[in-house]
Amino acid sequence: MKKRTILGLFWLLSVSLYAQTEQTVGEFTTTSDSIEQQLPWPQQMQARLDSMMRDPMLDYTQLGLMVWDLTDDCQLFGMNQQQLLRPASTMKLVTAITALDCLGTNYQYTTSLYYKGDITDHTLQGNLYCVGGLDPSFSDTDLDAFAQSVKEQGIDTICGSIIADNTLKDTLKWGDGWCWDDDNPILRPLLVNRKDNFLMQFINALSRHDIVLKDITIKEGKADEEATLLSQHKSSIDQILLRMMKDSDNLYAESLYYQIAAQRNHPGKALYAQRQEKALIERTGLNSSRYKLADGSGLSLYNYISAECLLRLLRYAYQHKPIYKHLLPSLPIAGEDGTLKKRMIDTHAEGNVQAKTGTLTGIISLAGYCSASNGHRLCFAIINQGALSAKAARNFQDKICDILCE
């Protein structure tokens, strides 16, 4: 049974009272439309949102919806906001806000190259250690910089081992509950161009820089703590967030998820990230045991959270300005960029709504921020589940956003 908020019931009562006292003056009759226009904000908004709850799509699909006035810090509207639903890629909001809260807004990904041994006559008698930071942006250019740093050390021949240190995370290459037939990203600490072939590509880069490999052993292991740093590649959390949220990049989301996981424990495991997420959910005032958290991207079919949970996290971010300052620029803007580039065009929401989208088979979700016509800052979360027509669900959500911004 659908549940309306107290504010929604207040609006219904208001309309009922107006109807009972309808008066005719001359030839003018007070209509329901004019009554709605006479209602103050936010009752006008609530009236329009309530009318959306009669959409025929909701007869055979599930909806979780919640709207919050951040300026006055109060709930404006809710419908099944506590119902557990699959969030799809709005799960990336949970990952992003937890990471900014746990790791800090200045956090950097680090991929490093070390060596240990003696350099004699331009020959390294020893080892090179490639230490992975699960940086999804690491490219051929960055790998060439690693090879160049070997050359600049005066080394043109290597006799020993090239060792890949993948100890940042566990050995699982895929997330829990991912569909086997999806094009899933591979989760390994050492990646080049998103691919799990770092050592082979590094050997090619060394060859391009005329570095000879002699009697070389290639293997995985842990870097020697006494090894000397040759080169490092760093990526800021803002760089990761931008692509992760604007383009809904699953690899970028999972990489951030495992940065959280490895912050206190090596190797990083999904369980460790989930502990941090649940601790944050508790700080928002919710009981984290009610939710099922499985991955960082929303690919998993095991994720179950509510519109209320997403909204509480958005509210938490807004109340913690350093988090909000870094989160907001990463969100797609309606009608302008990212996954919202083609949505809400020529509506009040265009250029106003900044929100994360989510799409899985039967799941369409949207959660983020906007500004109302009176200048109040709002946050909202919408999850449509069982919606086999993605277009219908997106149109429904776009109308909701238009009402919020009108």
Mean pLDDT, rounded, for 296-301: 96
pLDDT in tens, 101-146: 999 999 999 999 999 999 999 999 999 999 999 999 999 999 999 9
**pLDDT at residue 33 in the model:** 54
Q: What is the pLDDT of residue 265?
A: 79
Q: Give percent above pLDDT 70 in the chain.
A: 91
For the entire predicted model, the pTM comes to: 0.90
Q: State yes or no: pLDDT of 27 exceeds 80.
A: no
- Is pLDDT at 205 greater than 50 in this prediction? yes
pLDDT beyond 80 at 4: no
Residue 80 in this model has a pLDDT that exceeds 90:
yes
Average pLDDT on 90-97 reads 98
More confident residue, 39 or 262: 262
Average pLDDT over residues 304-323: 98
3-state secondary structure the chain: CCCECHHHHHHHHHHHHHHHCCCEECCEECCHHHHHHHCCCCHHHHHHHHHHCCCHHHHCCEEEEEEEECCCCEEEEEECCCCCECCHHHHHHHHHHHHHHHCCCCCEEEEEEEEEEEEECCEEEEEEEEECCCCCCCCHHHHHHHHHHHHHCCCCEEEEEEEEECCCECCCCCCCCCCCCCCCCCCCCCCECCECCHHHHHHHHHHHCCCEEEEEEEEECCCCCCCEEEEEEEEEHHHHHHHHHHCCCHHHHHHHHHHHHCCCCCCECHHHHHHHHHHHHHHCCCCHHHCECCCCCCCCCCCEECHHHHHHHHHHHHHCHHHHHHHHHHCCECCCCHHHCCCCCCCCCCCCCEEEEEEECCEEEEEEEEECCCCCEEEEEEEEECCCCHHHHHHHHHHHHHHHHC
pLDDT given at position 35 = 53
Mean pLDDT, rounded, for 174-181: 91
Average pLDDT of the chain is 91
Predicted local distance difference test score (pLDDT) of residue 40: 85
pLDDT at 18 over 50: no
Residue-level pLDDT at 36: 57
Q: In this model, does residue 342 exceed pLDDT 80?
A: yes
For residue 74, pLDDT over 70 is answered with yes
